[in-house]
Amino acid sequence: MSGEIKKFILTIGFGIVVLCSIYMLIIGVLCYQVRSIPISIPANKSILIIGDSHTECAINDSIWSESINLSKSADPFMYSYLKLKYILPQNTQIKTVVLSVNSVNISTTNGDRFLSKESLLTSNFKNYIHLFSINEWVVNISNLKSTDLFQIMNLKSILSERATYISKLGGYLCLKRDWLQASIGKKLNEKETVEYGNDNQYYYLLKIVDLCESIDVELVFVGTPLYNGADFFDIDNYKAKIERIKSNCNRVRVLDYSLLQLPDSCYADINHLNYRGASIFTPILKQEFNVNEY
Amino acid sequence: MIFNSLEFILFLPCVFLIYWLLLRRSLTLQNIFIVIVSYVFYGSWNWRFLLLIAFTTVCSYLSGVFIEKYNENRKIQKAISAGSIVVNLFILGLFKYYNFFADSFAALFKQFGVALDWVTLDILLPVGISFYTFQALSYSIDVYTKKIKPTHDVVSFFAYVSFFPQLVAGPIEKATHLLPQFYKPRLFSYQRAVDGSRQILWGLFKKIVIADNCAYYTNQIFENYTDYDGSTLLLGGIYFAFQIYGDFSGYSDIAIGTSKLFGIDLKRNFDYPYFSRDIGEFWRRWHISLNTWFRDYIYIPLGGSRVSKSKVVRNTLIIFLVSGLWHGANWTFVTWGLYHSLLFIPLILLGTTKKSTDIVAVNSTLPTIKEFVGMVTTFILVVIGWVIFRADNITQAYGYLDGICSTSLLSIPQVLSYKTIAFVISSIILEWIARKYEHPLQIVSDLKYRSLRWSVYLILIIIMIEFGGNPETFVYFQF
C-alpha cells in the first residue's frame, strides 16, 4: 500500500471512528437518561394490558379501574416483551398481564410486517432503543432499509420527548372512524391463513411467558372481537395454534372473543372495535376477570 | 442506489479499496473494474436498463471504428456519424418523448372529434438516459470532426460512457476531456482525495439539508397553490429555487468528489449561479456541462454568434427550446426554455451577453449596490422560470404566477419554516465567502488546526443527520 493511500484511509477511518464515538456517546447518554425515568403505574392498577392495535382499541382502561392499557398499534411481541421487562420490576402491584394474541398478529405475514415496515421500524427504533439487548439490535439492523439510515440516527425525537416517555409506550386509542364497509370490501375473498411460522414472534411470545412465570405474574392471552370472525379469519387454525402454546405453558389462560358478535356500529373496521365497541367489550372482559378472580 | 443511501455508503469504500489496493498496478483491470461497478450501480435501478446503455455504447463505439475505416471517404464518414446520432436520438426519443408527442398528437386530433388513444404506449423512462446519450453522441461527433481519434480500447470506451459517479445525472462529459483519462495510468493523490471527500460532504449537505428540507415545503405549496396567498406562493418558488440548486449542484459535487477519489477529473457543473448579475451570466454558471454541450454541438454548427443578429436570435431560440425539451417531455419545460430565451434575446440585441464574466465583487467583501440589484433581479427572474419548470402543467404555472401577482404578495407568508430559511441563508453566506473556490469546503483546508477542520466536518455531518429533510430522490434523475 502506498504511503498516500494509507494516509488517506487512516484519515477517513479516524473521522469515522470519531463520528461513531460521538454518536455512541450521545445514544448512551440518552438511553441512560430515558432508562432512569421511572415508569410509575398507579398502585391501584393491578392489570397491565399490552399488545397491538386490537387491545389498544378494544379495552378502555378508563372504565376498568384496576387496569392500565399500554398497547400500541402494530407492536410485535418483541416490543411487548421489552416493555414488560422494563415495567414489571418497577411496578410489583401488577399481578396480571393481558396480552393481545389474535389471528392477525400470530400470522407469519403480519409478524414480519410489524417488524420490518419502514415507518414502524423507524419510530419503534427510537422509542425502544434504550431497552434493546444484543438480540433486538440484531433483529432491527437486519431489517434496516437504506433510506432509514439518517432517520434512525436522528435522535432529536428522543431528546425532545423523553420527558413524556410513557405516552410513547402506548395507551387506549379511542377510534371514531368508520371503515367497516371499506375493510369488508378489501377482505372479501381473502381469507386469512394463520401460519404460525414467524420465528421472531414465536420466540418473543415464549419469552413473555417465561418472564411472567419467573416473577409470578398471571398471563392472559386475549383475542378481541373480530367482525364476522368465522367468515373473514381462520379462527379454527388460530385456536389450534393457541392451544398448542397453552399446552406447554400451564399458567397461561386464553380468553378468546374473536367470535363474539357485536352490532355493526361497534366496529371501526373488521379488525378493530371503535369507542362504542370498547365501551361494550371492556365491561364484558372486566366481568370475566371479576367472576374468575384472576 | 442513490448517493445518500446506506447501499452507496457501503458500496463506495468497497469499490475504492479494491480499485486502489488490489488493482492499482493494472490500468486495464482498473478500467474493467470501473465498468463492472458502474453496471452494478446502474443495474440497481433496473437491470433492463443495462441492455439499453450497452447498446448505446456499442453503437457509438462502432461508429468510431467505421469512421476510421473509411478515413478517405468523408461522405461515408458523415453517413456513419449521422447514423450513430440518429440511432442514439431515436432511442432517447422513443423512451423519453414518444408518449409526450403521441399524447399531444392525440389531444390535437381529439379536438376534431378523432380518437387516437391507441398511439400512447406504457414506456418506462430509464434513469439518466439523457445524460449518457449526450455523452455517447459527443464521442461520435468529436470523432467525425477529428477533435479526437477513434478509440480501439473498448473497455475504456465503456468506462467513459458508464462511469458511475456521473452516469445518471452528469456532469455531461465530452469525449475529448474524459475518454483520454481512461488511457493513462492514474496515480493516487492524497490532496485530491481529501478535496474530493470534502466536495462529497458539501454535496451531501446541500442535498440532505437544503434540498430535502425545501422539497417538503415546495411540494406542500405547489400541490395546494390555490389555498395560499401571493407571498406564500413567492416563497414556494424560492424554496424550489434552492431545492433544485441544492439537489442538482449537490449531486454534481458528489459526482465530481467521487471521481476525484478514483483519480478522474470531471468538469465543473455549477459556479454559484445565484450570484449572477444578469441572465447571460446565470447561464454560464448553471448546468455548465449541458450548456457547453449545446454550445459546441448545436449553437456553433448553426453559426454561433458569427452570423447576423437575426440568425443569432434564431440560434439562441433553438438552443433554449432544445434545452427545455431536454429536461423532459412536458410543455412546461418547453415554456421554461422559451421564457429564458425571451430574457436572453434582449442581451443579444444590446450586445451585453458577456458583460459579467468575472467573479462578482472579486476584490471586496460585499457587492456594490448595482451588483446587488443585478443579482436580486436575476434571481427573481430565475424564480419565475422555476415556477413554470416545477408546475405540473401550463394551467398550474399560470394560476401560480397569477396568485403571486396579487395584493396578498405583501402579507406574511402562511408557510414559514425558520429552520429551513436559516439553513438556506447560512449556505448562501458560506457560498458567498467561498465564491472564488470550486466549493466552500476548500476554505476549510486553509484552517491551520486539524481539530478545527474536523470540527467543521463533524458539525456538517451531525446537522445532516439531525436536521436533514425526508429523503427524496434526486430531481435530475428523471431527466
**DSSP string computed for A13-69:** HHHHHHHHHHHHHHHHHHHHHHHTS-----TT--EEEESSHHHHHH--GGG-TTEEE
The segment with the largest mean pLDDT, out of A95-109, A115-129, B26-40, B297-311, is: B26-40
A159: nearest CA partner in chain B: B466
Please answer whether residues B174 and B134 qualify as being in contact, where contact means their C-beta atoms are separated by less than 8 angstroms. no
Helices (H), chain A: 3-35, 53-58, 77-87, 108-116, 118-128, 134-143, 148-153, 156-161, 165-169, 180-187, 199-214, 229-232, 235-248, 275-292
Chain A positions touching B188 (Cβ under 8 A) are 2, 4-5, 8
Least confident of A149-163, B5-19, B54-68, B122-136: A149-163
What percent of chain B has a predicted confidence (pLDDT) above 70? 95
Q: Mean pLDDT score of chain B, rounded to an integer? A: 87
pLDDT value for B376: 95
Residue A285 binned pLDDT confidence (cut-offs 50, 70, 90): very high
Q: Shortest Cα distance from B458 to chain A (angstroms)?
A: 7
Of B117-121, B179-183, B272-276, the poorest mean pLDDT is in: B117-121
State the nearest Cα–Cα gap between A236 and chain B, in angstroms: 43
Find the CB nearest A153 among B193, B454, B465: B465
* A5/B188 CB distance under 8 A: yes
| DSSP classification of residue B209 | I
Of A4, A151, A156, the CB nearest to B189: A4
Cβ pairs A/B, distance under 8 A: 54
A chain contacts of residue B7, beta-carbon cutoff 8 Å = 146
Cell 407492536: give the residue. A75
Residue B262, pLDDT above cutoff 90:
yes
d(CA B468, CA B470): 7
Length reported for chain A: 294
Interface residue A153 vs chain B (CB under 8 A) = yes
Which is more confident, A100 or B89? A100
| Cα B289 from chain centre | 7
Asked if residue B271 has pLDDT above 80, the reply is yes
Could you tell me the CA-to-CA distances from B419 to B210, B416, B469 in Å, in that order? 10, 9, 11
Coil, strand or helix at A257: coil
- What confidence tier does A1 reach under pLDDT thresholds 50, 70, 90? low
Per CB-CB distance under 8 Å, the chain B contacts of A158 are none
Bridge partners of B32?
none
| A160 in contact with chain B, both atoms CB, cutoff 8 A | no
In angstroms, what separates the C-alpha of A135 from chain B's closest C-alpha?
22
Which positions of B are catalytic?
Answer: 327
Q: Model confidence over B190-224: pLDDT tens digits?
A: 999 999 999 999 999 999 999 999 999 999 999 88
**Residues A274 and A176 sit within 8 Å (Cβ to Cβ):** yes
Contact between B356 and B278 (Cβ < 8 Å): yes
Q: How far apart are CA B448 and CA B66, in angstroms?
A: 56
The answer, for A144 touching chain B at a CB cutoff of 8 Å, is yes
Q: What is the rounded distance in angstroms from the CA atom of residue B337 to the CA atom of residue B326?
A: 10
For testing contact with chain A, the best of B192, B466, B473 (most A CBs within 10 A): B466
Q: For the whole model, what pTM was predicted?
A: 0.76
Local confidence band at A146 (pLDDT 50, 70, 90 cut-offs): low
Q: Which residue has the cell 401560480?
A: B400
CB B210 within 8 A of CB B424: yes
Q: How far apart are alpha carbons A208 and A213 in whole angstroms? A: 9
Average pLDDT over residues B348-357: 79
Contact between B36 and B111 (Cβ < 8 Å): no
pLDDT of residue A163: 46
Closest CA to B476 of B327, B360, B370, B320: B327
Question: CA nearest B68: which of B165, B146, B2?
Answer: B146
* A27 CB within 8 Å of a chain B CB: no
**Residues of chain B contacting residue A122, judged by C-beta atoms under 8 Å apart:** none
**How much is the CA Rg of chain A, to the nearest whole Å?**
21
C-alpha distance from A138 to closest chain B C-alpha (Å): 17
Inter-residue contact B155 to B35 (CB < 8 Å)? yes
Q: Is B188 in contact with A8 (Cβ distance < 8 A)?
A: yes
Task: Identify the residue with better confidence: A40 or B111.
Answer: A40
Q: What are the CA-CA distances from residue B454 to residues A19, A137, B68, B215, B444 (Å)?
A: 10, 30, 52, 29, 9
- For the stretch B73-82, pLDDT in tens is 888 888 888 8
> Measured between CA atoms, how close is B10 to chain A, in angstroms?
10
User: Cα-flanking dihedrals φ and ψ of residue B34, to 5°?
Assistant: -60, -45
- Residues 6+ positions from A209 with CB-CB distance below 8 Å: A219, A245, A249, A252
Contact residues on chain A for B197, CB-CB shorter than 8 A? 12
Are B138 and B297 in contact by the 8 Å Cβ rule? The answer is yes
Record: contact B462-A22, CB cut-off 8 A: yes
Residue (of A210, A262, A156) closest to B467 by Cα position:
A156
Q: Would the CB atoms of B20 and A19 count as touching at under 8 Å? A: no
What integer pLDDT is reported at residue A70 of this predicted model? 93
How would DSSP label each residue in B129-155?
A: HHHHHHHHHHHHHHHHTTSSPPP--HH
Over 90: is that where the pLDDT of B88 sits? no
**CB spacing of A147 vs B5 below 8 angstroms:** yes
Q: For B443, which DSSP code? A: T
B93 vs B321, which has greater pLDDT? Answer: B321
Are B49 and B43 spatial neighbours (Cβ–Cβ below 8 Å)?
A: yes
Cα nearest neighbour of A23 on chain B = B462
pLDDT at residue B71, as a whole number: 82
CA angle at B301 for the pair B300 and B305, rounded to the nearest 5°:
35
Percent of chain B predicted with pLDDT > 90: 48
For residue A105, is pLDDT > 90? no
Q: Is the pLDDT of residue B382 over 50?
A: yes
The reported pLDDT for the residue numbered A39 is 79
**Interchain proximity B188–A18, CB inside 8 Å:** no
Residue A134 contacts B where some CB pair is shorter than 8 Å: no
Q: Given pLDDT bands bounded at 50, 70 and 90, which one contains residue A195?
A: low
Asked if A147 reaches chain B (Cβ–Cβ under 8 Å), the answer is yes
Contact A150 B471 (CB under 8 A): yes
> Do the Cβ atoms of A18 and B471 come within 8 Å?
no
Contact with chain B for residue A119, Cβ under 8 A: no
Q: Where are the alpha helices (DSSP H) in B262-368?
A: 279-285, 288-294, 309-327, 331-350
Give the residue from B6, B197, B208 with the most A CB atoms within 10 Å of its CB, the best one to mutate.
Answer: B6
Q: A18-44 pLDDT, tens per residue?
A: 888 888 888 788 778 777 777 788 899
pLDDT exceeds cutoff 80 at B475:
no
A77 neighbors A204 (Cβ within 8 angstroms): yes
Least confidently predicted of A188-197, A266-275, B41-50, B447-456: A188-197
Which uninterrupted H or E stretch holds B263?
Answer: none
Nearest C-alpha neighbor of B248 from the set B340, B172, B325: B172
**What mean pLDDT comes out for the span A265-282?**
93
State the average pLDDT for chain A: 82
What tens digit of pLDDT does each residue of A149-185 get?
666 666 665 555 554 556 677 889 998 888 888 888 7
DSSP state of B305: T
Burial of A9 (0-12, 13-18, 19+ CB in 10 A): middle
With an 8 Å Cβ cutoff, are B466 and A156 in contact?
Answer: yes
List the single best residue of B8, B188, B458 to mutate versus A (max A Cβ within 10 A).
B188
- pLDDT value of residue B15: 94
